[in-house]
C-alpha cells in the first residue's frame, strides 16, 4: 500500500530535496510538495483522507519572547484525532521549541541543520508506525522499536534495535541497555581470531578523558569471541550527514572552533586521534561537537600503539602527508585533518580526489595546498596554516589555531 506524505515548505528547493530523498529511498511512497499559502486555501486541516503524514518545515525564530511562526502554525492546525500525524522539520529551533511541538501534538521533531537521509527516514518510519514503513519494518518491543533480522542475544544485557553502520572490523548498533535504562551505540567486533579490533585500546584512551567534547563510554567486554563497547548515542548524527546540506561560512567557522577546542582537550591529555574525519565528529542539538572512535589513537607521551610499518590506517581523504608516508606523528597531523574538514565545509567537496586511495595519498604529499575561491579567500591563511605540507609550517597546536581565529575576529 502506497504511503502518502505531504511536505509543506516555503523553500521549494528544500521541499524537492525532501521529496527526492524520501521517494528514492522507499518504493510505494508518494510525496506531494506544497507551500503554506496553498495549503491554507486547499486543505487547511488535512485529514487521514488526504494522506498518511504531514511534514511541515517550520520557523521557530521568535518574533517575541515566547512566540514564533512555527508554534503559531501548530496551534492553528490544532492537531487532533482526525488530523494527519505531523513530523516537524525545524528552522532556528532549540530544545524548548522541540518540547513545545511535542506538547502541541507533533509526532516527532527534526532540526533541519542536522537532518540526513537516514535520520529523516527513521523519523518518518516512527511517525507512520506501520509494518509497511520505511527501511525495515519496526514492530514494538517493550515500547522500543526493533528491527527484524538482528541477532537477539549477540551481547547480553543489550537489546539490539537497529544497525547504524559497519566496517570490515566492527558493526555499530543502536541498542537499549537495561542496566542504564537508555539507548546506547553498541560497537561489536568481528570474532577475536581475526584482525585485532583495538577495542581495549580505544576503551583505555577514552577512559583517560572525561570531557563533554569526548564521547562517554559506558561498558567494555568480550562475549563469545567478540569485543564490544557501549558508548553514548547521538540522535543528531555526525558531521558527514550534516555535510549533505550546505554549511554557511559562519557555521563552518563555528564547527572549526568547536573541533579545535575538542582537539585541545585530547592533545593536552597526551593523545593523538589519528583518524579525524566527519563520521568521527558527532553533533548535539545545542551545537556542541563530540569526538568519537579513538581506535587508532596514540599516546603522545609514551609513543604507544604505533601502527606497524607498511600498514596505513585512517581515511585517505583526511590523512596528513606524514601519516601517508608512515613517519612519526604529532598533534599537527590532527590539525592537517582538521584543515581538510574546514575546506570541505567551506567548499562543499574534499580538496583531493582520485580513482584510488594511493592517488589521493599522493596528492596529500605532492600537490600544493588547495586555493579557495575569491569569495572565500579571506580564509586562505587558516587553510595554509592547517594544511601546510611540512608540520613545522602549520599551527603548532589547536590552541594556537584558536588564538589566531580570535585575533582575526
The residues that are catalytic are: 275
Q: Report which secondary-structure segment, H or E, holds 95.
A: helix 95-103
Find out whether 120 and 110 touch, Cβ atoms under 8 Å. Answer: yes
Task: Work out the angle at residue 352's Cα, subtended by the Cα atoms of residues 351 and 356, and round it to the nearest 5 degrees.
Answer: 155
Task: Match 572565500 to its residue by C-alpha cell.
Answer: 376
Residues with Cβ within 8 Å of 73's Cβ and at least 6 positions away in sequence, in order, are 36, 56, 58
Task: Match 570474532 to its residue by C-alpha cell.
Answer: 191
Q: Report which secondary-structure segment, H or E, holds 160.
A: strand 158-166
Q: What are phi and psi of 320, to 5 degrees?
A: -70, 160
Find out whether 212 and 201 touch, Cβ atoms under 8 Å. Answer: no
Distance CA 4, CA 28 (A): 9
Q: What are phi and psi of 166, to 5 degrees?
A: -155, 155
Largest separation between any pair of C-alpha atoms in the chain: 69
Distance CA 116, CA 92 (A): 17
Concatenated DSSP letters of 250-305: HHHHHHHHHHHHHHHHHHHTTEE-S---GGGEEE-TTS-EEE---TT-EETTT--S
Task: Match 534495535 to its residue by C-alpha cell.
Answer: 161
At 28, list the grid cell. Answer: 510505494
For the chain, counts of helices (H) and of strands (E): 13, 16
Amino acid at each position: 500500500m502506497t504511503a502518502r506524505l505531504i511536505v509543506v515548505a516555503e523553500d521549494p528547493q528544500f521541499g524537492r530535496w525532501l521529496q527526492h530523498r524520501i521517494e528514492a529511498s522507499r518504493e510505494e511512497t508518494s510525496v506531494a510538495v506544497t507551500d503554506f499559502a496553498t495549503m491554507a486555501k486547499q486543505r487547511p486541516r488535512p485529514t487521514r483522507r488526504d494522506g498518511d503524514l504531514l511534514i511541515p518545515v517550520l520557523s521557530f525564530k521568535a518574533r517575541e519572547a515566547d512566540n514564533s511562526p512555527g508554534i503559531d502554525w501548530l496551534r492553528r492546525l490544532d492537531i487532533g484525532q482526525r488530523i494527519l500525524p505531523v513530523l516537524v522539520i525545524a528552522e532556528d529551533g532549540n530544545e524548548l521549541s522541540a518540547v513545545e511541538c511535542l506538547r502541541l501534538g507533533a509526532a516527532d521533531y527534526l532540526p533541519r541543520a542536522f537532518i540526513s537521509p537516514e535520520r529523516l527516514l527513521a523519523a518518518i518510519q516512527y511517525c507512520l508506525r506501520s509494518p509497511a514503513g520505511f527501511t525495515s519494518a519496526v514492530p514494538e518491543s517493550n515500547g522500543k522499536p526493533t528491527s527484524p533480522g538482528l541477532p537477539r542475544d549477540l551481547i547480553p544485557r543489550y537489546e539490539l534495535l537497529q544497525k547504524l553502520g559497519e566496517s570490515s572490523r566492527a558493526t555499530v548498533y543502536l541498542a537499549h541497555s537495561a542496566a542504564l535504562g537508555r539507548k546506547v551505540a553498541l560497537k561489536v567486533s568481528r570474532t577475536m581470531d581475526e584482525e585485532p579490533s583495538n577495542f581495549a585500546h580505544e576503551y583505555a584512551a577514552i577512559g583517560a578523558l572525561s570531557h563533554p567534547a569526548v564521547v562517554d563510554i559506558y561498558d567494555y567486554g568480550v562475549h563469545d569471541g567478540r569485543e564490544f563497547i557501549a558508548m553514548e548515542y547521538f540522535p543528531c548524527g555526525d558531521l558527514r550527514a550534516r555535510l549533505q546540506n550546505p554549511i554557511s561560512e559562519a557555521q563552518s567557522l563555528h564547527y572549526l572552533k568547536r573541533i579545535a577546542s575538542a582537539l585541545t582537550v585530547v592533545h593536552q591529555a597526551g593523545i593523538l586521534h589519528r583518524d579525524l574525519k566527519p563520521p568521527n565528529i558527532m553533533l548535539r542539538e545545542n551545537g556542541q561537537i563530540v569526538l568519537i572512535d579513538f581506535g587508532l589513537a596514540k599516546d603522545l607521551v609514551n609513543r604507544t600503539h604505533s601502527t606497524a610499518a607498511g600498514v596505513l590506517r585512517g581515511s585517505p581523504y583526511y590523512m596528513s602527508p606524514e601519516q601517508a608516508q608512515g613517519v612519526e606523528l604529532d598533534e599537527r597531523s590532527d590539525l592537517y585533518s582538521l584543515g581538510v574538514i574546514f575546506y570541505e565545509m567551506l567548499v562543499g567537496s574534499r580538496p583531493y580526489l582520485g580513482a584510488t586511495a594511493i592517488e589521493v595519498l599522493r596528492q596529500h604529499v605532492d600537490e600544493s595546498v588547495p586555493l579557495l575561491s575569491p569569495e572565500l579567500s579571506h580564509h586562505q591563511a587558516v587553510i595554509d596554516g592547517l594544511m601546510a605540507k611540512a608540520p613545522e609550517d602549520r599551527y603548532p597546536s589547536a590552541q594556537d589555531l584558536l588564538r589566531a581565529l580570535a585575533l582575526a575576529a
